[in-house]
Structure 1
């Protein structure tokens, strides 16, 4: 978000060229949705305001004690010109759980979805139409009460921002270089690793910055106890594609695995969607623990043929190089694998309404009816 060049006045005119090359969240739509509430009091109805600075008391609880959680979800333009949110209710449920982990009153899911829909409806002309492009929505909830006592906040404020966006690692889906973290941990079981709270991401930045200075794009985190089990990247979940040889039981030689969510890994909704889509495609995909030694052995033997990361912001992107200790390994031939590309294409096809939405993931946003001269509902899948 550091590159965001937010306009200060809401506008219904998108400056020329932005939707062709938005980058990742470089430009705000110039509008936000805001509402407030707290334990034992109703949440206010979401209202639209011009993008601008937030006035906060210096003693705001969220600033002092990290009572801040967020979400990231996307709205996509379909082939007929209409716009739909992807898994909005599921993001709302996760938002609610993240807040509850920090002793904050959770926003009801229907209220969350209504706020997202309100903002997207107002800014639907900011939704790009390129395959893989979207309007990225960032809901932020923080303790807004002014009090230096360490306690659950009685007042909370929720702000939703919107940005036209390419995938965060680029629309060309260049394979990533990833370094395994050995001297630091991101989360431990029983902590807040599963919640999307601001502190989790701040804790990853030093190690991530050091890895980037050494020529890597991202960090792969291991479990915080044994420093043995693969968990996730700083902002994305991880998948492995193994070539175990054909079996009579499945008839398939490839097996797809992803580390299980045991309290230290964010329950990624893209991750969950890929597990489901893999089944739709007849692929064998399961949750399964993978040790760093097992990953190294798979790379050395050639049994581990693809590695890819996934998340709302980045979609699905291959990992082409893995740094483990003082040695670098090339994954496969260093390029994107067939399975990675196939799963990403399947995901984007659903998100853009090009294939049927068999799982009810798309929510049509009112006020974004099909463009004149479109082909109606053909290919929308919603």
Structure 2
């Protein structure tokens, strides 16, 4: 159990008046959580302090060698005014996996969850009341040694910041167009594709911008070896409903093991669907579309929850999906998962965690 010291702000910010215009990641709450790591001492000095700049030396190693990991999760306000989290233990476990790969000391799952609950409790008034809006939570860890030289740092800082964010689909669940990227790659076996580290996202920006210039919303990445098997989309996992079965890439080192992905698969199993986790060639996806067997395609992730896809473009070929409309299974998954997250549907899976007022 962490002994978290709390220093409340003496200058609270003005909260947004119009929650329909929150956007994403633009506004931040009054406080942040901090905890230090020192080699030989471990994690220490957990504290919540007023949100503000972090003083850092220009030679801080994270700037030069990118030893950094992060998570993304949300807090939701239910109809009775209480606040709850969705599977925070899964985010904690995934951060441990990321930490192991990046040679960063692991944060115990129970400490991670306690820290998240604490900062959300302190800033619970920032959790939006508007339907579809939520409090986005960004935990991250980075190396804080000062000096140049490629080796694991001996000091780290664990930070959690929070941002009230609007509904991802402000005007309804609108299917998107996806560009299949076959020149650049996102990940390869043995690298960091399964982790949530900033370098993965930095490397994806080039292809994403090129896709946007062509009018597409996201990039579908292929495998880094043969450039033929589908892996994931931008910041989401992706699933394909082909002839009644659900196909998605396996999390075997190059694909991020999404918490939403994991939850969707559990729901699909409950509903009797066969879910195939493995290699799926983009050529077979396009062939299925030609044969009328590609019934639905959707991305899964924390921000969007479920994102329907209406078009795939690969090597000049176009696959149109569902007449450009959201499919019935995609809609059911979205309604069910968001219903559980916002407390509108009963949580029979034990996925939600109520944030009790303690501070």
* Unmatched runs of 5 consecutive residues or more in structure 2: 1-8
2:96 equivalent in structure 1:
96
Deviation at 1:38, TM superposition (A): 3.6
Q: Distance in 2 between the 1:91 and 1:156 partners?
A: 19
2:15 equivalent in structure 1:
14
Deviation at 1:12, TM superposition (A): 6.8
1:74 equivalent in structure 2:
74
Gap change, CA 1:286 and 1:15, over 3 Å in 2 = same
Q: Distance in 1 between the 2:234 and 2:331 partners?
A: 22
Q: Distance in 2 between the 1:200 and 1:159 partners?
A: 20
- TM score, norm. by length of structure 1: 0.88
Instruction: Give runs of aligned pairs for residues 52-201 of structure 1, distance below 5 A.
Output: 52-168=52-168, 170=170, 172-201=172-201
* Unmatched runs of 5 consecutive residues or more in structure 1: 1-7, 244-253, 370-382
1:275 equivalent in structure 2:
265
Gap change, CA 1:361 and 1:55, over 3 Å in 2 = same
Q: C-alpha deviations, 1:219-254, integer Å up to 9, x for none?
A: 0000011111000012000011122xxxxxxxxxx2
Q: Distance in 1 between the 2:133 and 2:358 partners?
A: 17
Q: Which has the higher strand share?
A: 2
Gap change, CA 1:169 and 1:216, over 3 Å in 2 = farther
2:335 equivalent in structure 1:
345
Q: Distance in 2 between the 1:44 and 1:171 partners?
A: 45
CA RMSD of aligned residues (A): 1.9
Q: Secondary structure at the match of 1:46?
A: strand
Figure out how many residues of one structure are paired with residues of the other and give that number.
Answer: 351
8 Å Cα contact 1:231/1:238 also seen in 2: yes
Q: Secondary structure at the match of 1:85?
A: strand
Q: Distance in 2 between the 1:241 and 1:171 partners?
A: 25
Q: C-alpha deviations, 1:150-182, integer Å up to 9, x for none?
A: 111110001111011135465622111110011
Q: C-alpha deviations, 1:11-38, integer Å up to 9, x for none?
A: 2752311x33322222111321111114
**Aligned to 1:362, which of 345, 352, 358?**
352
- TM score, norm. by length of structure 2: 0.93
Q: Distance in 2 between the 1:361 and 1:40 partners?
A: 35
